[in-house]
Amino acid sequence: MNEQLRAISELDRVIHEPGRLMIVALLWPVKECDFLYLLNATEMNKGNLSSHLARLEEAGYVEIEKTYRGKVPRTLLRLTRKGRTAFDQYRKGLKAAF
């Protein structure tokens, strides 16, 4: 197997999924943001977004903090160090592949 193919086959599947790729790409440049921001930015539906976030949390790539803004619930999302590294690696992999 050549380098290009190896790079492709080693792409992180958690990040590779476009829905999650959007989320991570959005979280990457900022300190944090909330659920509704992601919802609007990605144009996913809530169910979808919720489960992708759960998957990313399970992988240790995002932190989910549930807070209140007054009486209204508000979910804050942050990329963890691990998530940041994983995304950097993912992009390196893409570069190696193409």
Partner DNA sequence: AATAGCGGGTTTGTAGTGCAAACTAGTTTG
Partner DNA sequence: CAAACTAGTTTGCACTACAAACCCGCTATT
d(CA 24, CA 6): 23
Does 64 sit near a second copy (CB under 8 A)? no
Q: Considering beta carbons, is residue 19 or 97 the nearer one to DNA? A: 19
For residue 61, the tally of other CB atoms under 10 A from its CB is 25
Nearest to 62 by CA among 93, 89, 90, 35: 35
- The option from DNA, a second copy, none interacting with 91 (CB < 5 to 8 A, set by class) reads a second copy
Catalog residues that contact a second copy under the rule CB under 8 A: 1-2, 4-5, 8-9, 11, 13, 16, 18, 21-22, 25-26, 41-43, 91, 94, 97-98
